[in-house]
Amino acid sequence: MTNEFHEKNRLSWNAATAAHNSHKGDQAAFFRNGGSTLFPEEVELLGGIDGLDLLHLQCNSGQDTLSLARLGANVTGVDISEEAIRFARDLSAQAHIPATFHRADLLTYFTEQARTPGRYDRVFASYGTLCWLSDIDAWAQGVAHSLKPGGRFVLVEFHPFLMIFDEQWEMRYDYFDHSPIASDGVSDYVALSREGLVPDGYEAGFEAFVNPHPSVEFFWGIGDVVSALAKSGLLIEQLREYPYANGWKGFDGMHDSGGRRMVPPQDTVRLPLMYGIAARRPE
């Protein structure tokens, strides 16, 4: 069933990626003019990456990948979507920022790369990645095997506690239910978040997008993620929680508190909306 789930998600992401990029205008010009899609949190956790070999997991259409390359890293991006990788390669060429991109199911990629472990100084993933993984332990092992001794893994992700709420902030979903979650497909969350996810000016693009392909998501709590990384042999150096979500307006009434940090309505108590992890492979 895992392969069937991943195949559904590949098709769903192919459709959604085209919709997402339709809102972003001339991205090549954005990058040629010095633009970056990174937020301060991931830059801080990564530290200096100039001259380092970096693996970007679930890189989507490559915008963050190219932003990392602009900081001096030798970056390889991996994503399950053909549409995303095609766009990323074109964007890399048009922006004149070199990077390497591979189209692969991430867990399959890790299995194939197990023959050549320890290739990267940094491994990085961010924002809405873990919910597409059917096996968190295999993921963590792949991360660990990809790192050179002394290399670091950085994850910035939306907080799983947030996922107990429906879009109207009503508690509806069981935090401890790990059953696969079927949905109507990857949404056009860029249209929902608008300027939050489009720093160079939002465009209408595809309107009222409906994904023709359903998708399947998986829920992993922070305990699942940290335990998987620890079991893989990585040392957890930092675990941070943030009361805002970078860029993403996933719930009613969310607004920009400054710097594209999205927060709940003003009458809502502060909640953990995002978290970051930095982990190191021992020397």
209-267: pLDDT as tens digits: 999 999 999 999 999 999 999 999 999 999 999 999 999 999 999 999 999 999 999 88
Round to whole Å and give the CA distance between 175 and 160.
Answer: 8
Neighbours of 96 (CB within 10 A): 10
- What are the helix (H) ranges across the chain? 2-21, 27-32, 40-46, 63-70, 82-95, 106-113, 136-146, 189-193, 222-231
Residue 231 zone, left/alpha/beta (φ > 0; ψ -120 to 50; rest):
alpha
- Residue pLDDT, tens place only, 89-123: 999 999 999 999 999 999 999 999 988 889 999 99
Token digits of residue 4: 């069937």
pLDDT confidence of residue 1: 53
In a domain, 241, yes or no: no
Residue 280 vs residues 36, 130, 180, 197: alpha-carbon distances, Å = 26, 19, 30, 29
Neighbours of 273 (CB within 10 A): 23
Give the single-character DSSP code of 163: G
- Residue pLDDT, tens place only, 32-83: 999 999 999 999 999 999 999 999 999 999 999 999 999 999 999 999 999 9
pLDDT confidence of residue 26: 94
In a domain, 110, yes or no: yes
Which CATH number goes with the domain that contains 162? 3.40.50.150
Q: Are 52 and 119 spatial neighbours (Cβ–Cβ below 8 Å)?
A: no
Residue found under tokens 């079927």: 182
pLDDT confidence of residue 136: 97
Round to whole Å and give the CA distance between 234 and 229.
Answer: 6
Q: Are 64 and 85 spatial neighbours (Cβ–Cβ below 8 Å)?
A: no
In a domain, 244, yes or no: no
**pTM of this prediction?**
0.96
In a domain, 266, yes or no: no
Count structural domains, the chain.
1
Q: Are 254 and 196 spatial neighbours (Cβ–Cβ below 8 Å)?
A: no
The terminus-to-terminus CA distance of the chain in angstroms comes to 37
Q: In what order do the strands lie in the sheet with 261-263?
A: 245-246, 261-263, 255-256
In a domain, 269, yes or no: no
In a domain, 64, yes or no: yes
pLDDT band at 2 (very low <50, low <70, confident <90, very high): low
Indicate the length of the chain as a whole number: 283
Secondary structure percentages of the chain, helix, strand, coil, to 5:
35, 25, 40
Largest CA distance in the chain: 53
pLDDT confidence of residue 147: 98
In a domain, 247, yes or no: no
Residue range of the domain that includes 176: 2-236
